[in-house]
Every structure is written in C-alpha cells, then in structure tokens.
A and B are shown apart, each in its own frame.
Chain A
Amino acid sequence: MPVDVDAEILSSTRLSDDYSVVAFRAPELARTIRPGQFVMIRAAAGDTPLLRRPYSVFERLRRADGEVVGFSILNKRVGVGSRLIADAPAGSRLACLGPLGRPFSPPPADSEAWMVAGGTGLAPFATLGEDLAAAGIPNRLFYGARTGAELFCVDRFETGGRRVTLATEDGTAGDRGRVTVPLARELAARPATQAVTIYACGPEAMLEAVAALAASHGRACEVATERRMGCGMGGCYSCVIRVRTADGGTRYVRSCLEGPVFRAADIVWDERRP
C-alpha cells in the first residue's frame, strides 16, 4: 500500500556535476520497499514543474540497530525536475508517494543472480543485492557507463565478496564498450548446467541488448523499465509498454502497475523510444 509523505531530505551528496545521491527520511514508506519498486517525487510545490517524477529506490537507509528509516535515490540532472531535486538542500521536504510498482522476483532455487546496470540503472541493485546477499543467493554485478568518472558507488557493491565487473564506452575503466561486452563473455563461459537469472536496469537500448543476450543463452531475464510517467498509480495510461499476450498478440500495459519490472521475453522492443 503506497503512502504519500512529506519527506525530509537528510542529505544530498554530489557524485559529479550531474549525479547525486539524495537521501530522504520516510520510515513508513521505506519499510515496505522491495527491490525494483519506485517512488513518485514532487520536485517542488506549485504548478511548474507540475507532475511528480518517478525514481527507482536506491538504498534503504538504516539506523544503527538496523531499523529502516528512509531511502535514497540516484539522481541525474536531465531536466527541470531532476535539477530542482538535485539542488534541494538538506532539511527541506519533498512529497514522496510510494512504494509503487511490481518488484523483481527472486531467482529460482540453485540459480545465481546476475545484475546488469547501465548509468542510473544502477539504482535498484543496491536493494536487490542486499536482499540476495541476505538470502544467501550468489550474485554479481555488471556495471557500465560512458566513462570511468560516471561509475559511482562501486565500492558499495564490492562488499561480502560480491564480484563487480565494469565496462566503459571510452575504456577508462573495465572493458571498453557497453556493459553487454563482459556480460556476453561471461555468459558464453558459463556452463549451461549452472543456472543464472539476469536482472537488468538502464537505457532501453541496453535492456533490449541484454534481453537478446539472455534469450540467446537461454537464461531467464527481468528488466526494470523507465518509461515517462504521469501518475504512477495507473490512472493516466501514459507509461505504457508493449508486451506479448498469451494468445500470440501484443498489447500496451501500464508500466507503473504491471511493471516497472517485466520478464524481458514479454516485451516488444520495436517502439520508438521516448
């Protein structure tokens, strides 16, 4: 059940000119967050910008005793809303509605979990990685960006022996090329008898490429999509994505309700990308 809270910004940590981590105090919202879910954040009071912005939850924030007291988002300045959120000072409050949407599903027994992130698509893997580790499920992260300076929080993921494999388009860190370069190599090296479930989040072109790789290797794959949203509640029908139906046809479904996490094999990727 989502709640709407006037959440205090606990901290806003600049990672680079464009990226920051914004932490919110919102215990009643954060307590029930599951990996892959999102929050609709109102960047400012008033009429412009008007609509809330959807953000994948990054971290759960915990007190020393482990109690969840809030959550953070990984914010990239791309437009009016994300700039206002980036510039909002600690101590100010923003309306946050959530948690919303369908989360990642756990891997089947005996399957490893491979997380694949591109850019701000890193966000949902902080909580997924945390839950997988807590459940004792072996997991690793593939993480790609344009350049090494845009790979953030890598050490945060290199905990508990988790393997992190990097890729950058300019070759300044990890493999040169997209994140699918190391993913393809590791998938090819993996014996078919050892189960792998792939979880991906990032630009849709990346998700499509990861989905194709997963399919060609016969691996289950879930993707967290990021469509333009109006309400996050299923009211407006803006955030649709085309999926295959059981009868062999296709239809638009609302990514806020039936997603944002989908089985990659269900998605029809031929849309003009927003």
Chain B
Amino acid sequence: MDLSVRIGGLTLKNPFMSASGCFGYGVEYADLIDLSSLGAVVVKGLFLAERPGHPPPRIVETPAGMLNAIGLQGIGVHRFVREKMPELVARRATVIVNVCGTTIDEYVEVTRILSDVEGVAAIELNISCPNIKEGGISFGCDLENTRRVVSAVRRATSLPLIPKLTPNVTSVSSFAKAAEDAGADAVSLVNTFLAMAIDVETRRPRLSNVMGGLSGPAIRPIAVRMVYECACRVGIPVIGMGGIASAADVLEFLIAGATAVQVGTANFVDPFIWGKLDAGVRDYMARHGIERLSDLTGTVDLPGEKRA
C-alpha cells in the first residue's frame, strides 16, 4: 500500500501532518510518538524575534470545538534553529516550518534563514493568524498583499512554499489562485475562524484577547467545502485541515480534493492519534481496493448536473 504524497518537489511518506500551533516545536512529543512516522511535523509559527504572546485565558471550549488566542508566543527563528532543529533532525522528522512576519521583509528574512538550515523540508507561510494585530491575516485577507508576500518569499527560497490560508474571507479559492499565480507550490487551509465567546454572568469576553480562532470538529464541514472549492480552482496541491479527528475525516478531505491533511485540535485530545489515522486509512484502502492513496484525491462523486 502506498500512502506517500507529493507536495511540490517534496515526497511525504504519508499525508498526516501536525498543524502549526498545535504541536509545539515537535520536540514536546518526541518521547511520546515516533516523529518520523508523520508525513511532516509542522512547527509553531516563527517570527524573527521572540514574542511573549497574549495574557491568559488563551483558550475556551465551545460546542465541538475551542477558541484560541495564543498570540503566536514563540522563541524566534534563531533560537528555533539552534535549540529545536538538532533534535528534530536526530529524530528524523520531516520538518515544515511555519513562517510569520509583520512585514514582507520579515517573512523574507525568516525564510532566508531557514532555507540554509539542514532538515527544513518546506516553508508554510502564515498569512492567516487571526490573533495578532499586525502581519498575519492582514496579508491573507487582501488579494494584492497575498500576491506580494508570496512572490517576495518565492524569490527568497527554493524550498517548497505553502501559504496557509484564512477562511475569514468571502472567497478562499481566490486567495488559493492568487497564491498559485505568485509561485506557491501548494496551499494549506483552513486556519481558524475568527470567533468570540462571552461569559454572561460577568459580561466579560472569555478570552483575554476578546476574540480568538475557532477550531475543532465544529468547523469541519465548512473546511471541507473550502478545500473542495480551492481544489477545483487551482492546479497545485491543497493541504486540508479543520476539525480532523478520525481516519474518516482524513478520507473526507482527500476525496474533497486535498492531497494531504493536517491535524491540530484532535492532537490535544489524543496525542496518539497518528497511528489510529494510519490504521484507519489503510483499512479503508484495503476495503476499497486502493493501492495508491493519492489516487483518492479529488474523487468526490458528484451528481450528474454538478459535474464539471
């Protein structure tokens, strides 16, 4: 059985990746699971400098999901390269680094630094974090800004480049297309949905940052729809995410058009989920006589009048 998938020039042994911001820097899980068994470890978003993040409370649970406003607390790219990469390399993880910036120059600089580091397999460009005032989503909610930042980073690296898209726009597929036109090798989606929860007794927001990003099974059907729309619109691979918590969820995203998937919130609930996803997907392939998992991508069986 072949579970490998191709993202740009990169071949992953399977389509299962950790979602950025939901897996620390990967090393936190190194003693618990075999990091090399994941298709890729996507680490927490990195700016040039360290960032303190938002005050707590940073999360709140909601029906079938959760809001977070971590504020991209992080150690900065230099400390990551020095302190975390050696262990990730030693554990033979395929490392994709999520790159953040408040300016185009910062995105370019962080990417340049990482491009010279042995073991970095690809760059995921975070133009979609809903929780910071500058950068992030301000690039991801404007088509022209998306083109500019993707083009600039494209010129700075030969690594596979994967802009991560926000769902907080009218047409995600327009942004996928803009990213493709600007030279992206793939797109990943969706980041979280901007949301809010209020304690009615105190009338205070439940998060210190007032608003946060909604993730978890609650968003899954919207994410599947957006992955489907993007896969219909672009020729580059789509990496799907949004509430994936089982092998059936993985398969749903693949059939909708995803080439690979990321798992975020479900890893909080079950850090051993990876082996279960792998076993479940293999069982499905056996039952359906599928030899190569990549053959499943984009095979949704639409009613006649809906077929392209």
- A-to-B contact residues, CB < 8 Å: 1-2, 4, 42, 47-52, 95, 97, 227-228, 230-231, 233-241, 251-252, 257, 271-272, 274
Does B284 sit within 8 A of A, measured CB to CB?
no
Nearest-neighbour CB distance to chain B for A236, whole angstroms, equals 6
- B-to-A contact residues, CB < 8 Å: 21-24, 28-29, 31-32, 44, 52-53, 55-61, 63-66, 68, 70, 73, 208, 216-218, 245, 265, 267-272
Collect the chain A residues with CB atoms within 8 Å of residue B52's CB. 251-252
Residue contact B59 to A236, C-beta cutoff 8 Å: yes
Nearest-neighbour CB distance to chain A for B256, whole angstroms, equals 20
23 A–B contacts from the bound complex (CB under 8 Å): A1-B32, A47-B65, A47-B218, A49-B61, A50-B65, A50-B216, A50-B217, A51-B269, A52-B268, A52-B269, A97-B271, A228-B60, A230-B68, A233-B24, A233-B32, A235-B24, A236-B21, A237-B21, A237-B24, A237-B73, A239-B56, A252-B52, A272-B208
Knowing A235-B267, A238-B56, the reply to whether A50 touches B61 (Cβ < 8 A) is: yes
Collect the chain A residues with CB atoms within 8 Å of residue B56's CB. 227-228, 238-241, 271-272, 274
Give the complex CA separation of A261 and B63 in angstroms.
31
A235 touches which of B28, B57, B245 (Cβ 8 Å): B28
A47 touches which of B57, B216, B268 (Cβ 8 Å): B216
Give the complex CA separation of A8 and B242 in angstroms.
32
Give the complex CA separation of A48 and B269 in angstroms.
11
Give the complex CA separation of A238 and B57 in angstroms.
7
Residue contact A48 to B29, C-beta cutoff 8 Å: no
Residue contact B216 to A235, C-beta cutoff 8 Å: no
Residue contact A42 to B269, C-beta cutoff 8 Å: yes
Collect the chain B residues with CB atoms within 8 Å of residue A230's CB. 59, 66, 68, 268
**Which residue of chain A has the shortest Cβ distance to B71 in the bound complex?**
A237
Nearest-neighbour CB distance to chain B for A262, whole angstroms, equals 15
Collect the chain B residues with CB atoms within 8 Å of residue A272's CB. 55-56, 208
5 interchain residue pairs of minimum CB distance: A234-B28, A231-B268, A47-B64, A274-B57, A238-B59
